[in-house]
A and B are shown apart, each in its own frame.
Chain A
Amino acid sequence: MSDATRRRLRRLAPWVALGIVVGVALGIGASPGGPPLTVAQRVNGIDTLVRCPSCDGISVADSSASTAVAIRQAVTARVRAGQTDSQIDAFLVSRYGPSILLRPPVRGGTAWVWVLPPVALALAVTSLGTVLWRRRQGVAVTVSTDDRALVQQALARRGAPGGRATEVVRAP
């Protein structure tokens, strides 16, 4: 393995390590680990994401309205009956329409609410990476023979006994 490759790998290693750590952390965070939820925990989780039908913008969990109480009872009965969260959401939507859910479903016109943030994040990260990478690469400069001659002259003056660094001004 050449020195250049080794240096490049050494430079990349922290980034690779960071990527692995973030990936594992996200994986652990997204996985439904831990003990299974109790009926009350599941009911509360669903109720916080269901809109109280007769209230103004609050969840069933936060309301004591009769419609909210009825939904809480129905959700509890369905959780006890072994229904999944999606099945319970589907039942409520079949009665009240999609607006009953405080969390918009990932389909139709509401899909962009879910798609846009990760897409924007990916674009931002890519743009930032591109800008940083270009800066590291530096700007390619074409050096002419005249430029080289000027540099040689300056170095020669500097190397001469009693010589001083001189600012080289190139004639236009």
Chain B
Amino acid sequence: MTITVRDEAGPQAELRHRHTARWVAGAALVVGAALVAVLATRPPATATEVDTPLVGQAAPPITGSTLGGATFRLAALRGRWVVVNFFASWCPPCQQEQPELVAFAYAHRSPGDAALVGIVFDDSASTARGFMRSTGASWPAVVDPGGQIALDYGVRGPPETFFVSPRGTVVAHFDGPMTNASLDYWLARAQGGGA
């Protein structure tokens, strides 16, 4: 016995299949292009304020050598607002944040104004020094061999930023890249809080 399977639609169906395949491929291409466009043009990630146990507590002491070889003591800045920024040259959000920090440091360069201090997070001193130089950063950056300063501040990964009041209290903690505008906003808000 012979069984014959006949394509009921014949060449016309084949043509229809090809048309459908073209439409599906075209739609996939459009969706893919739209996805790429959205991802490429969306605003970069920004910092979020995080509630950590350190907020409201005395800022852990920071004492160490800067990338320039000087000795740094956080306690020496008592009486001024201090922005403590943990960073690394290998971290893309830190690279994104760096020009904003440069602008902030420049805007607050007058004596007695808010001070900015960087803490090198899991990075070699030479690479971090090159990173600071290449971006025109002039604020002190303290090396943290062994990551003990990062541990004292409960840092999970850079960039993380802490606001320390003139009395030496941690008043805010941010995770992610800050902008010059957000630094100014939060500084003004912290100063208004009278911490």
Contact = CB atoms under 8 A, between A and B. Distances in A.
B52 A70 contact: no
- The 5 closest A-B CB pairs, nearest first, are A70-B147, A95-B154, A66-B122, A53-B156, A96-B154
Interface in A40-93: 53-54, 66-67, 69-71, 73-74, 93
A94 B147 contact: no
Contacts of B155: 53, 67
A71 B148 CA distance: 8
Contact of A67 (B52, B53, B57, B147): B147
Interface of A: 53-54, 66-67, 69-71, 73-74, 93-97
A97 B157 contact: no
Given A96-B52, A97-B53, A73 B154 contact: no
Identify whether the interface residues of A are mostly helix, strand, loop, or mixed.
Answer: helix
Identify whether the interface residues of B are mostly helix, strand, loop, or mixed.
Answer: loop
A93 B57 CA distance: 13
A47 to B, nearest CB: 14
A94 B52 CA distance: 9
A71 B146 CA distance: 9
Interface residues of B, number: 17
A66 B147 contact: yes
Contacts of B121: 66
Contacts of A67: 122, 147, 150-151, 155-157
Given A54-B157, A66-B122, A95 B54 contact: yes
Given A69-B146, A73-B148, 6 more contacts: A53-B155, A70-B148, A70-B151, A94-B54, A94-B57, A95-B153
Contacts of B148: 70, 73-74
Interface in B92-139: 121-122
B53 A70 contact: no
Nearest to B154: A95
Contact of A97 (B151, B153, B154): B154
B152 interface: yes
Contacts of B153: 95
Given A70-B151, A74-B151, A94 B53 contact: yes
Given A67-B147, A73-B146, A95 B157 contact: no
Contacts of A73: 146, 148
A77 B154 CA distance: 17
Nearest to A93: B53
A71 B151 contact: yes
A53 B154 contact: yes
Contacts of B146: 69-70, 73
